[in-house]
Structure 1
Amino acid sequence: MSNTQSTLRILEKTNLAREIDAFLIDRRARALSPRTIDYYDEKLTLFRAYLQAQGIRAVESITAPIVRRFMLELSKTHNPGGVHAVYRAVKAFLRWYDVEVEPEGWSNPMAKVRAPKVPQEPLQPVSLPDLRAMLATCKGKSLGDRRANALMLALLDTGLRASELIGLNVADVDMRTGAVMVRHGKGGRFRSVFLGSKARRALASYLRVRADVGEAAPLFARITGGRLSYAGLRDIVRRRASKAAISPAPTLHSFRRAF
């Protein structure tokens, strides 16, 4: 059971809880990705827990000062980007409530709450020396070495988001041309990207020693079988960075910025 689920079980069902549940149902009905649903669930659980600790059990009791105090409390444990992520979830929920319920005499408090500032720091791509050092740790013949080599080259060649890469199936890649069909892109959009010859050779080497390579099989899988998760992909990159004595490890998104 996730931390979010555990917290939700502890918190009693109130008007606030029911409306958050209804909001999440609305997001699912709009066919948003599971990861987006989890984002809303996680951030609104934090908001709900704070409100209940303040004795607030109804959406219409939420005011602008309460939201501001919540943001200040969050800033003690979250970086500016994390605070802004929660702000966006709260804003989306209260906007939905305003339109969906149309409560008489209630005004959405987010109209008075400004978004917290996020410092605009330059986002660096993974550096070429770091990439070379990490790829150098993949020269072995093990399944793990071949997988790490293939997925890092694929990230670099295609500029795919991590979620898009792990969502690929074997049938989505044309090994002759390098064309990759992205069926689960952001916003549910389809698009094509391409793998270079080096990435294709690395991918072929990886798939050659894998057991489950039917067309419906995931392109990148766990060693024990089943689709590689986001956390699993992140851990692979971190382990390769550690082996290459690179600290801090490049983020998954830094590969996309290097595209």
Structure 2
Amino acid sequence: MVSAHIDLAALLPSWLLALKAERKSTWTVKSYGDGVRAFLRWCAANQTDPVLDRSTVQAFIIAALDGGSAPATALAKQFALRRFSAWLADEDEIDRDELLGLKPVKLDVKVTDSLTDDQLKALIRACQGRELRERRDEAIVRFMAETGARAGEVIGITVDDVDLTRGLATVRRGKGGRGRVVPLSAQTCRAIDRYLRVRRGHRLADTPVFWLGVDGKSFGYDALRKTLAYRAELADIKNFHPHLLRHTAATRWLAAGGSEGGLMAVAGWKRRDMIDRYTAATASERAAAEARGLGLGDL
């Protein structure tokens, strides 16, 4: 059987179901599905047979890049197609995986800024208030800026995962299904405690979901993104996105003299190069501060 003779669109739901069975995150399943659907739309628009071979996939990726897609976006689409092709081969829907060994899209090394201390303080001040929404938002900002937890990890935390007495929170399922324990400062614990006391009056207070929305609603990823964007606007922080808090946490950890090994454990990284990617923007500042402390010019 060859891929030209199979209906990729009809098999896509089966693959997504398999991904869910593998406990892939909701975001990962959506990203993979979006990549394949984008490929199928492109094939239809260009009257191209939707075949998962190198020439067709490469043409699709080139068209995406020429159309203005960022290299990271193109890479995500290519990766989705490679994973889909591998699954089709494993399931004997195609004779062989034609995309095996296909070189990934080359990414530019981007320097991503982090929030300054003044910006972070302004973001926290923008959350001040006594209502559930304000208490929750300050707790979230402090939690993310201290632990570097990903947005999806923050949303997934349950009531039983937070131990304020010990100053610890457990991330049950991080990226790749890896869990970890993250430390919480006294200030963050205080902010969370204030939120929990107001949370008691919520109609969903008896549910295990930790973060709750206003008006009796739940609180998911989209709500988190909009909430943080709103607070950033109040704090006059431009070009804000939730992942910026992860960069900020990593930068502040190293600037305070924290070890790279400790940062990797708290942030949930397995590879050392992730530290460079997240903290490249402030590497020169840290080096200058370290040099002044070393006093090498004191001869």
Task: Give the TM-score normalised by structure 1.
Answer: 0.84
Distance 1:168 1:138, change over 3 A: same
Matched, 1:187 2:176: yes
Alignment partners' CA distance in 2, 1:239 and 1:214: 25
- What are the Cα deviations for residues 177-204 of structure 1, in whole angstroms up to 9, with x where unaligned? 1111222222333321121111111111
Q: Which letter maps to 2:221?
A: Y
Task: Give the TM-score normalised by structure 2.
Answer: 0.73
Q: Which moved more, 1:212-221 or 1:175-184?
A: 212-221
| Percent identity of equivalent pairs | 27
- Residues 149 and 246 of structure 2 are in contact (CA less than 8 Å); yes or no, is this contact kept in structure 1? yes
Q: Give 1:56 shift.
A: 4.6
- Residues 171 and 215 of structure 1 are in contact (CA less than 8 Å); yes or no, is this contact kept in structure 2? no
Alignment partners' CA distance in 2, 1:253 and 1:70: 29
Distance 1:239 1:214, change over 3 A: closer
Alignment partners' CA distance in 2, 1:134 and 1:165: 18
- Unaligned 5+ segments in structure 2 are 1-5, 250-299
SS in structure 1 of the partner of residue 169 of structure 2: strand
Alignment partners' CA distance in 1, 2:109 and 2:139: 32
Q: Which letter maps to 2:208?
A: A
2:30 is matched with: 38
- Residues 126 and 258 of structure 1 are in contact (CA less than 8 Å); yes or no, is this contact kept in structure 2? yes
- Residues 170 and 215 of structure 1 are in contact (CA less than 8 Å); yes or no, is this contact kept in structure 2? no
- Residues 151 and 243 of structure 2 are in contact (CA less than 8 Å); yes or no, is this contact kept in structure 1? yes
- What are the Cα deviations for residues 218-252 of structure 1, in whole angstroms up to 9, with x where unaligned? 22111123432112111111111111112122x22
Q: Which letter maps to 1:192?
A: V
Q: Which letter maps to 1:184?
A: R
- Residues 167 and 186 of structure 2 are in contact (CA less than 8 Å); yes or no, is this contact kept in structure 1? yes
1:253 is matched with: 243
2:98 is matched with: 108
Alignment partners' CA distance in 2, 1:103 and 1:242: 50
SS in structure 1 of the partner of residue 181 of structure 2: strand
- Residues 64 and 110 of structure 1 are in contact (CA less than 8 Å); yes or no, is this contact kept in structure 2? no
Distance 1:62 1:187, change over 3 A: closer
Alignment partners' CA distance in 2, 1:162 and 1:219: 14
Matched, 1:73 2:54: no
Distance 1:177 1:109, change over 3 A: closer
Distance 1:226 1:15, change over 3 A: same
RMSD, matched Cα: 2.2
Give 1:19's match in structure 2, choosing from 11, 26, 34. 11
- Unaligned 5+ segments in structure 1 are 1-13
Matched, 1:143 2:110: no
SS in structure 2 of the partner of residue 258 of structure 1: helix
Q: Which letter maps to 2:9?
A: A
- What are the Cα deviations for residues 115-168 of structure 1, in whole angstroms up to 9, with x where unaligned? 222110122222212111111112222322211111000112222111111111
- Aligned residue pairs, count: 241
Q: Which letter maps to 1:16?
A: L
Matched, 1:222 2:222: no
SS in structure 2 of the partner of residue 193 of structure 1: strand
- Residues 170 and 180 of structure 2 are in contact (CA less than 8 Å); yes or no, is this contact kept in structure 1? yes
Alignment partners' CA distance in 1, 2:215 and 2:108: 41
Q: Give 1:44 shift.
A: 1.1
